Amino acid sequence: MKIMKLAAITMAAILPVTSAFAGFPEKPVNYVIPFGPGGESDITARHQQSFFKGKFGQDLVISYKPGGGGAVGWSQLNRMKGDGYNIMGINLPHIIVKPKQKNVGFKTEDISGVYMFHYTPDAIVVNKDSPFKSLQDLIDHAKKNPKKTIFSGSGKGTANHLAQVRFDKMADIKTTYVAFKGTGKAVAALLGSQVSAEWGYTSVGAKHSDKVRMLAVAMEKRHPKFPDVPTFKELGYNLVSGAYRGIAVPKSTPEAIRTKLSTMIQEINADPEFQKKMENDGMAMLNVDASEYDAFIKKMTGIYLDAAREGGIIK
């Protein structure tokens, strides 16, 4: 037995690296979501799941490791086996902001991302019957009534919260941000008029299109599903942000497998059917592959940490 194993290892060492993993994946891939089931991280993973099997012939098995707003999962990522069959979802700004707050068991640099595959852009959402018809209405109201414009949003130190902090500064207004547990609760507070508006996502606009409208979205260009909603950029505020999602592997995963995984996720991302499904849910596609990951995180770190300091989340 041992000799066989040894032989296999030597064989693998002799053969060129790429061909050793040419057959990857040969068994189901375990995809850990560091949140509970039913959230947006889960739903996007489920979208990928249904394409994975068709393209690569193996199952993508989704499991959950919730706790600490993702920290429990990420702090254990590098302890998992690095054979490519263990991958984990990662979320921005979480993996950047959390480790800067306190010891959460992992550092941003500890996470080896292989691909960032989409983001859900931030957006200001109001009820259909809201007096705020445009972003300018809201800004005017906020200027006249400092702190009395109340936003709901999902959590603190999150995309929603950091967008609120950044936008307040850009527009020179003071608003109040009320953190709810998850987007569902934040939307319920908006629909029930407990708050005046919500810092939400384009996915909220897609899901609740019969009840709400968006004043502006934080994207480079308008979202294909909402051609009538302006971007913050068009209105003169340089705000492009959202909840970015990607996939990471344990540190011990070989380079060849990382590259392979990266191309695989890219392949799913390139599928028009997948894109259609994602965009219908209000998400925006993103393609940051393994080679561009580090530069991307560096860029986002600068932006998020400034906003987090501004918002008093980190010192």
Partner 1 sequence: MKIDAITKLEKADISGMLVAIILILVAVLALWDTTEMTDADSFVFPRAIAISMISFCILFIVTQMIYPSIEGNDEARVVGGSTTRRIGLVLAMVVSSLLMPWLGFLVSGVLAFGSIMMLAMYDEWTLSRRLLFPFAGIVIVIGFYFMFAELLLVPLPVGTLFE
Partner 2 sequence: MIENLLQALTLFHVALALGGVIAGTVIGSLPGLTATMAVAVLVPITFSMPPASALILMGAIYTGAIYGGAYAAILLNTPGTPSAIATTFDGFPMAKRGDGDLAVTLACLASVVGGIVGAVFLLILAPPLADVALAFGPVEYFWLAVFGLTLISALSKGNLLKGLIGACLGLLLSTIGVAEISADVRFTFGSEVLLGGIETVSALIGLYCVPVLIDLVATSDKHLKVTHAPKGFRLIEALQISWTHKFNLIRSSVIGTLVGILPGAGGSIAGLVAYSEARRTSKNSDTFGQGEPEGIQATESANNATVGGGFIPTLVLGIPGTPPDAVILGALLIQGVRTGPSLFAGDGSIVYTFIFGLILATVLMLPTGLVIGRYAYKTIITVPKAMLVPTVSFMTMIGTYSIRNSVSDVVIMVILGVVGWLLNRAGYSPSPIVLGLILGSIAEQGFVQAWTIGSATDNLIGMFFGRPIGMAIILFIAATFFYPMIRGYLIGMRGNPNED
Taking a C-beta distance cutoff of 8 angstroms, is the pair 183, 88 a contact? no
Q: Whose CA is closest to 293, among 104, 90, 100? A: 90
Handedness of CA 78, 159, 31, 295 (dihedral sign): negative
Q: Applying CB under 8 A, does 66 fall inside the site for partner 2?
A: yes
Q: Applying CB under 8 A, does 315 fall inside the site for partner 1?
A: yes
Q: Lay out the site mask for partner 1 across 64-83 (x = CB under 8 A, - = otherwise).
A: -----------------x--
Least distance CB 87 / partner 1 (angstroms): 12
In the complex with partner 1, which residue's Cβ is closer, 118 or 161? Answer: 161
Query: Which residues in the 271-300 window bind partner 2 by CB under 8 A?
Result: 277, 280-281
Q: Strand 197-201 relative to strand 112-127: parallel, antiparallel, unpaired?
A: antiparallel
Which of partner 1, partner 2, none does 224 bind, CB closer than 5 to 8 A by kind?
A: none
In the complex with partner 2, which residue's Cβ is closer, 290 or 313? Answer: 313
In the complex with partner 1, which residue's Cβ is closer, 205 or 311? Answer: 311
Q: Lay out the site mask for partner 1 across 213-242 (x = CB under 8 A, - = otherwise).
A: ------------------------------
Q: How is residue 160 written in tokens?
A: 């929603």
Q: Applying CB under 8 A, does 20 fall inside the site for partner 1?
A: no
Least distance CB 165 / partner 1 (angstroms): 13
Q: How many residues bind partner 1 (CB under 8 A)?
A: 10
**Residue corresponding to tokens 């691909």:** 115
Q: Applying CB under 8 A, does 233 fall inside the site for partner 2?
A: no
Q: Applying CB under 8 A, does 21 fall inside the site for partner 2?
A: no
In the complex with partner 1, which residue's Cβ is closer, 93 or 282? Answer: 93
Q: Applying CB under 8 A, does 195 fall inside the site for partner 2?
A: yes
Taking a C-beta distance cutoff of 8 angstroms, is the pair 301, 63 a contact? no
Residue 73 and residue 82: Cα distance in Å, rounded?
Answer: 15
Residue 243 and residue 263: Cα distance in Å, rounded?
Answer: 22
Taking a C-beta distance cutoff of 8 angstroms, is the pair 218, 239 a contact? yes
Handedness of CA 279, 214, 221, 226 (dihedral sign): positive
Taking a C-beta distance cutoff of 8 angstroms, is the pair 210, 193 a contact? no
